[in-house]
Amino acid sequence: MDSVATLIRQGKIEQAEAELNRRKAQGGNSAEWHCDLGLLLEAQGLVEKAMSAYEAALEIDHNHPAATFRLAFNHDLLGDEDQAIELYESLAERRPAYVNALLNLAVIYEDRGLYDEAYACVERVLAEHPNHARAWLFRKDIVSSTSMLYDESQERSREKRNAIVDTPVSDFELSVRSRNCLKKMNIHSLGDLLRIGEAELLSYKNFGETSLNEIKAMLKQKGLRIGQLREEVQPASRPAVNRRGMPEGSAEVLNRYLSEIEFSGRSRKCLQRLNLITLGDLVMKSEPELLATKNFGQTSLNEVKQKLAEFGLSLRK
């Protein structure tokens, strides 16, 4: 007799339900029975009831691994990370290693910036499964994430600089001639002065050395100089996405919500950061665009491509 889990994986939902009813009629009310009931309810889309079934299983056997994992997984999907972490951590110390729990826990740790903890989870998996491909990819992603740590001091410096650059020229004491010349040249902020050269200023009618020296002195007080931004290397602008023509695929498939598709925690959160709602939104993205998203590595990319392939879709080339 196939197990309930096996029947569900084969899509034999009615047979799985019949098997559960048969076991219940024989007096089955074990933790295993409640866990299998949860799997069936999940397959039927009744997530809240499934979670109640897993909780019932844990009331009977608080160490039941499958019920603990499925309950943690669903808490994770629903955004209740604190509860998911508690449950995943209860599985993390098991021997042999509970691989899926450790990898899912690593994803949450990484999203929270706990890179050492995430790394330790992956290393636990690799210690027992040294050739585990998914774990190696996760390990690579975590190492990459540590090199992209958010530098708060640099961000504050950038914001301060932007505030200075956006300061209106009218906020400074300048002669009437200089003020009028700048106004006629459509120079309204310090940023405008940082993007123009001395020669261009002097080429304007009525703008002479006196006005130039006055403005240079004013900028020097701010640690700035005329043409400064022009001299600095500017980042290349990102090419616009060509949205002419919709991707191949039926409207029904393209309009399917990503929330209905079972992605890993990391991939799901990255897609949320990109504000992608449907498969149609996703297929308009290219591989480089996805890989540029924080914490979105090769593992997540492979998962997304695999999911799209199941619907006969692919990312934008």
Structural domains of the chain in order of their starting residue, each with its CATH number = 4-146 (1.25.40.10), 158-230 (1.10.150.20), 251-310 (1.10.150.20)
pTM above 0.75, yes or no: no
Q: Residues 160, 140: contact at Cβ < 8 Å? A: no
CA distances in angstroms from 93 to 32, 134, 271, listed in the order given: 21, 20, 30
Q: What would the mean pLDDT of 78-101 be, rounded to a whole number?
A: 89
Amino acid of residue 117: E
Q: Residues 44, 26: contact at Cβ < 8 Å? A: no
Give me the pLDDT at residue 241, please. Answer: 36
pLDDT digits (tens, 9 = 90+) for 252-290: 788 787 877 888 877 877 787 777 888 888 888 888 888
Give me the pLDDT at residue 232, please. Answer: 53
Which tokens sit at 247? 């991707």
Give me the pLDDT at residue 236, please. Answer: 37
Greater model confidence, 244 or 37:
37
Q: What would the mean pLDDT of 291-297 be, rounded to a whole number?
A: 78
Give me the pLDDT at residue 36, please. Answer: 92
Entry field: residues in the chain: 317
